[in-house]
Structure 1
Amino acid sequence: MRRKKVIILPHLVDAGGDLSKNWFVEYSCRDPRTDKLKRFREYTGLGKHKSAKERYTLAKQIIAELKEKLATGWVPFQEEKVTFQDELIMQVHADRWGRERESLPTIRIYLSEFLEVKKATVIQHSYQTYRSKLRIFAEWAEHQELDTIHISCITRDHICDFMFFLIEQNNVSRRTILKYKQILHGFFDYMIQARGIILTNPVHDIPEMGRLTDEAPRPIPEKERSKLMAYMKKNDPQLWLFCQMEYYCAIRPNELRQLRIQDIDFVRHIIRVPCTISKNRQTELVNIPNQLYNVLLAMKVDEHEGGLYLFSSCGRPGKSMLGKNNFRFRFDRIRNRLGLSAEYKLYSFKHTGGVELVNAGVDTWELQRHFRHKSIDTTERYIRRNFAVKSDKIKNHFPDI
């Protein structure tokens, strides 16, 4: 298959040397919105010169300037200024000056448009991840002057350069690089499918790069768990309830902090995780084990008004939702005070519950339902990553060395 020409380089059309006719420099560019070559003609100043020598000299200069601009990714398509909501601007600046801007279409406008779509389709926590990473990409692109070229001229090499920048500046992990790749791939797919502005996605065949590290929270062994339990019961009972709900119900921290009293069905022993707070954007039901159920009854949680948040200020249900990092900071302080490993994180209680369930003999299907994994494959990968092969023969009947 023959590759389509993107540009036909500028050349002089001199009317056979006839000075009585118009001379012009002609070139063509493929419009990424229509996938058709569009012809352009530059007449600037050529008709003012009466001698062929002067016209040839000026034409040579015009051709050189156009070639240099085209080589940097500039395209001649005329686009009107548009008014847009800048989703990438820092909140402190938005509060002061507002988000509304007027500009020719640039990478920042398209990124802001993509973020507006994501704001309506993903949970707040995920939206914040999209925004923070795309903000860094926009700032880098503007520093590289990629905002002066058409978005279709952003190539795989540019994406690789951005990834190398992240590694050199912040020593980011391979997992973080993968997240950037996923988000940017989604953005350029949007430019192809929803906007029809570009034809190909530049985020492809990106080599593996970044610091290799295991960032997954480790399950907490019983000895360390007992220390945490004793301290939290005495000094922070609200945090201890939070950890128990992670452990027994495998509810994610960001979902837990948004849970309301009305989401707990004390009759059926079920917690309803609404689609508005669920990571999977689906309303899901979780069984409440008897141990946690009895704790909730002892705390008289069922006697509170349904619309209150389960976790609020003053250590009891209330109208205000706690911040997304509130419990993590509280847990980290206690963990450090007790001298425990930083590998134990607030999210570790969810994995710890999984370990105990597998050790108790729960089957993969039950674990999938309890952890609300989309597929059994996800659960099997989770088990392989977190558990050794459970074998009585290997443990108790291994031949002597």
Structure 2
Amino acid sequence: MLDSIKKLSDRKKQAADIISNCTNRLRSGWNPWADISNSRQFTKFDDICELYRKYLIKMTSTAALKQKTQTDYLSRLSILIDYNQNLPIPIIYIYQFTRAYVSDFLDHIFLDRDTSARTRNNYRVWLSAFSAWLIEKQYLEKNPVEGIKSLEETEKFRSALEREDLIRLKDYLYKVDRYYLLACRMEYYTFIRPDELSNIRLRDINIKEQKVFIASTISKNRRDGMVGLNDELIKLMIELQIFSYHSECYLFGRDFKPSTKKADSRIFRENFIKVRAALKFPKNYQFYSLKDSGIRDLANAEGIVIARDQARHSDISTTNKYLKGQNMTVHEETKHFNGAF
């Protein structure tokens, strides 16, 4: 293609420019083999989300959409945008909004954010409506939600770990990866959801009073929360010199060590799958099973009310109205009960 350029140095310069341009486009998400039928499918994902947000607001202002529906849709859109931004390799163009991407996002909603099957199914319905809008505007040709089934809303595959398996897991991780052991113990003792756990910074931990603050900005229920830190957690944190890191560091980075860079919440689940295989645990043992195990053991040891409060369950929403931020109390029993893990 460059034979028409007579001078060799000019020919090489032109070739280098073409290579550089193609490389930059590839790094930004361009795929020369993608099945793209029109240029609109190369519209940037962030631009599409902003356009959809304006569309929802306009539809509500003309009474074509209920205010509650707009609020729900905008909330789900915000979570989708946040999910994409925190991916190791976020999508850039709307044609990358594929069935595989949607399926991974729904797994994130169901597993990492610890929602019910009904909530996950509601997200699926919204994603289908969003995709239909994309097809109508010719940003997509096919609905990526098609083929992704709804979950049985009464089904619960996950189960708590038996006491002997908790001990096996503890002994194994203490030898292999004590930082991931800390992550697992945080789930068992504090019941903090994986998505919230990935957002906890060292500044949120009060080691003297043995408690962790969960801000409303990272909490699933959008309320401030406070949970107790068990003695075993404090001992392991001191052993790992966790508090030698800067207070702005996230408690768990990609390698489960404190880091200035936020890790994707999926790391807890993905690493547990490897550990589960190594220990030959059943598939119904999942990372979030540690929360089930902890609630069971704390309730048996100290009572259901204490376990309920430590889990920040909705039954105490009235109490939460009278407590704000750092003034929230935690039960002393959560700090000292003798668990199996």
**Smaller-chain TM-score range?**
0.5 to 0.7
The one of 156, 163, 168 equivalent to 1:214 is: 156
Q: Does 1:363 align with 2:303?
A: yes
User: Rg bigger for which structure?
Assistant: 1
**Is the contact between residue 249 and residue 370 of structure 1 (CA under 8 Å) also seen in structure 2?**
yes
More strand by share: 1
After TM superposition, give the deviation of residue 171 of structure 1 in Å.
Answer: 4.2
**Is the contact between residue 271 and residue 288 of structure 1 (CA under 8 Å) also seen in structure 2?**
yes
State how far apart, in whole Å, the 1-side matches of 2:316 and 2:43 are. 44
Q: Does 1:274 align with 2:215?
A: yes
Residues 138-149 of structure 1 aligned to structure 2 (within 5 Å): 138-139=130-131
More helix by share: 2
**Is the contact between residue 108 and residue 138 of structure 1 (CA under 8 Å) also seen in structure 2?**
no
Residues 25-44 of structure 1 aligned to structure 2 (within 5 Å): none
Q: Give the share of equivalent positions with the same residue, in percent.
A: 22
State how far apart, in whole Å, the 1-side matches of 2:206 and 2:168 are. 31
After TM superposition, give the deviation of residue 272 of structure 1 in Å.
Answer: 0.6
| Alignment deviations for residues 328-385 of structure 1 (CA, whole Å, 9 cap, x no partner) | 111112202322111011001111011111222x2232122111012169xxxxxxxx
| Alignment deviations for residues 265-286 of structure 1 (CA, whole Å, 9 cap, x no partner) | 0121111111111111111111
Secondary structure in 1 aligned to 2:227? strand
Q: Does 1:231 align with 2:172?
A: yes
Q: Does 1:95 align with 2:44?
A: yes
Aligned to 2:74: 116
**Structure 1 residues 132 and 170: CA distance shift in structure 2, 3 A:** closer
**Structure 1 residues 230 and 96: CA distance shift in structure 2, 3 A:** same
**Is the contact between residue 184 and residue 287 of structure 2 (CA under 8 Å) also seen in structure 1?**
yes
Secondary structure in 1 aligned to 2:250? coil
**Is the contact between residue 220 and residue 344 of structure 1 (CA under 8 Å) also seen in structure 2?**
yes
State how far apart, in whole Å, the 1-side matches of 2:78 and 2:313 are. 23
Moved over 6 A (4+): 100-103, 105-109, 120-123, 125-128
Secondary structure in 2 aligned to 1:313? coil
**Structure 1 residues 232 and 117: CA distance shift in structure 2, 3 A:** closer
**Is the contact between residue 269 and residue 287 of structure 1 (CA under 8 Å) also seen in structure 2?**
yes
After TM superposition, give the deviation of residue 172 of structure 1 in Å.
Answer: 2.8
The one of 221, 230, 237 equivalent to 1:289 is: 230
Instruction: State TM-score, norm by structure 2.
Output: 0.56
**Structure 1 residues 98 and 297: CA distance shift in structure 2, 3 A:** same
**Is the contact between residue 216 and residue 224 of structure 2 (CA under 8 Å) also seen in structure 1?**
yes
State how far apart, in whole Å, the 1-side matches of 2:185 and 2:309 are. 19
Instruction: State TM-score, norm by structure 1.
Output: 0.48
After TM superposition, give the deviation of residue 219 of structure 1 in Å.
Answer: 0.6
The one of 277, 296, 309 equivalent to 2:250 is: 309
| Alignment deviations for residues 150-195 of structure 1 (CA, whole Å, 9 cap, x no partner) | xxxxxxxxxxxxxxxx8x94443232xxxxxxxxxxxxxxxxxxxx
| Alignment deviations for residues 293-318 of structure 1 (CA, whole Å, 9 cap, x no partner) | 22212222222211001111344211
After TM superposition, give the deviation of residue 234 of structure 1 in Å.
Answer: 2.4
State how far apart, in whole Å, the 2-side matches of 1:305 and 1:318 are. 9
Q: Does 1:344 align with 2:293?
A: no
State how far apart, in whole Å, the 2-side matches of 1:303 and 1:233 are. 20
After TM superposition, give the deviation of residue 117 of structure 1 in Å.
Answer: 5.4
State how far apart, in whole Å, the 1-side matches of 2:51 and 2:235 are. 58
State how far apart, in whole Å, the 2-side matches of 1:300 and 1:291 are. 14
Structure 1: gaps (5+ residues): 1-91, 148-165, 176-211, 378-401
| Alignment deviations for residues 224-260 of structure 1 (CA, whole Å, 9 cap, x no partner) | 2233223322222222110101111111111111110
Partner letter of residue 48 of structure 2?
R
Q: Does 1:252 align with 2:210?
A: no
Q: Does 1:326 align with 2:267?
A: yes
Partner letter of residue 150 of structure 2?
V
Partner letter of residue 152 of structure 2?
R
State how far apart, in whole Å, the 2-side matches of 1:228 and 1:234 are. 10
State how far apart, in whole Å, the 2-side matches of 1:313 and 1:142 are. 34
**Is the contact between residue 123 and residue 279 of structure 1 (CA under 8 Å) also seen in structure 2?**
no
Structure showing greater relative contact order (alpha-carbon pairs closer than 8 Å, 6 or more residues apart): 2
**Is the contact between residue 190 and residue 310 of structure 2 (CA under 8 Å) also seen in structure 1?**
yes
Structure 2: gaps (5+ residues): 1-40, 60-64, 84-104, 110-121, 138-144, 318-341
Partner letter of residue 291 of structure 1?
E
Aligned to 1:172: 150
State how far apart, in whole Å, the 1-side matches of 2:219 and 2:80 are. 10
- The count of corresponding residues between Structure 1 and Structure 2 is 229
State how far apart, in whole Å, the 1-side matches of 2:162 and 2:193 are. 20
Secondary structure in 2 aligned to 1:323? coil
State how far apart, in whole Å, the 1-side matches of 2:215 and 2:49 are. 33
State how far apart, in whole Å, the 2-side matches of 1:140 and 1:271 are. 42
After TM superposition, give the deviation of residue 101 of structure 1 in Å.
Answer: 8.8
Partner letter of residue 155 of structure 2?
T
